Homo-oligomer: A and B are copies of this chain.
């Protein structure tokens, strides 16, 4: 569906003059504003920032929306793609918001929204042998921009990072003569770093990953040699964590990290899910932080 131009043609077809007018008139009677209208599930190669190499080539799934006032029948779907296509080789957090603002202005909307999910890769050295392999962390940008006339005007930006970890169960360890059940878990951190146009200092995705990995029983690695496996097993056994502990440790780490950057984050949330090795379901915990300053 390309409402953008087909409607212009419709107009000229139907009334012989200015685009969209007739169809727009038809919608007046329903009086229902739409919070979001746009495209979803668009897949693109993109470039994001990366501390080690400056930029990183990866692949993304993207959704782009604008709000639609009640008196407009539809939006211009093809223009989202046109604008995203121009920007896909430069999608730092900052440029992502600039891209959304261009969408908002081009589509003459009060607000524009965007989500972009992508695997973020980091080379990581094994803890003893130092051998290197790639780790992957699924990340998401979520942003919105609005015109000055909007209630709650301004820009908002959130970064989510999913960090896989090991967790050793403290109870299993305490009650068992030997061993302790442990498993892969995943911690999803979502941080608001722009609120009402006010931006917290810049931070790297790598910083968040480090906080989470330090809070778990152990970090994961793609490549572990003998001496590494021994180290990781023993380290994890000596650092048992409930899923609840994991959330709280990450919480404390993010608060502290936020305060080290100007004035702290206005909002963040943490979810931890353990793919229990003794059950066929997950153990889950989450917490949310909201700054009193906000």
Listed by A's residue number, 10 A-B pairs whose Cβ atoms lie within 8 Å are A1-B169, A2-B225, A6-B229, A36-B286, A38-B285, A40-B282, A41-B281, A82-B223, A178-B238, A179-B182
Q: A226 touching B284 by the CB < 8 A rule?
A: no
A residues bordering B, Cβ < 8 Å? 1-10, 13-14, 18-20, 23, 27, 30, 32-45, 56-59, 63, 65, 68, 73-75, 77-78, 81-82, 85, 88, 119, 121, 131-136, 164, 166, 168-184, 218, 220-230, 232-234, 236-238, 240, 242-245, 247-248, 251-252, 273-288
Q: A220 touching B2 by the CB < 8 A rule?
A: no
Q: B226 touching A286 by the CB < 8 A rule?
A: no
Q: A284 touching B222 by the CB < 8 A rule?
A: no
CB distance from A51 to the nearest CB of B (A): 15
Q: B166 touching A277 by the CB < 8 A rule?
A: yes
Q: A57-B57, A68-B244, A228-B2 are in contact. Are A251 and B32 (CB under 8 A)?
A: yes
Q: A229 touching B5 by the CB < 8 A rule?
A: yes
Contacts of A40 in B (CB 8 A): 273, 281-284
Contacts of A6 in B (CB 8 A): 171-172, 174-175, 226, 229-230
Q: How far is the CA of A218 from the CA of B240 in the complex (A)?
A: 21
CB distance from A114 to the nearest CB of B (A): 12
Q: How far is the CA of A105 from the CA of B276 in the complex (A)?
A: 25
Q: A37-B244, A136-B43 are in contact. Are A180 and B179 (CB under 8 A)?
A: yes
Contact partner of A121 (CB less than 8 A), chosen from B4, B32, B44, B279, is B44
Contacts of A68 in B (CB 8 A): 244, 285
Contact partner of A134 (CB less than 8 A), chosen from B78, B85, B135, B136, is B85
Q: A277 touching B184 by the CB < 8 A rule?
A: yes
A33-B287, A175-B230, A183-B184 given. 12 additional CB < 8 A pairs?
A2-B225, A6-B172, A14-B174, A23-B240, A27-B245, A30-B248, A32-B248, A43-B280, A59-B59, A75-B244, A179-B237, A220-B278
Contact partner of A171 (CB less than 8 A), chosen from B1, B168, B222, is B1
Q: B243 touching A1 by the CB < 8 A rule?
A: yes
Q: A5-B225, A45-B121, A287-B32 are in contact. Are A174 and B18 (CB under 8 A)?
A: yes
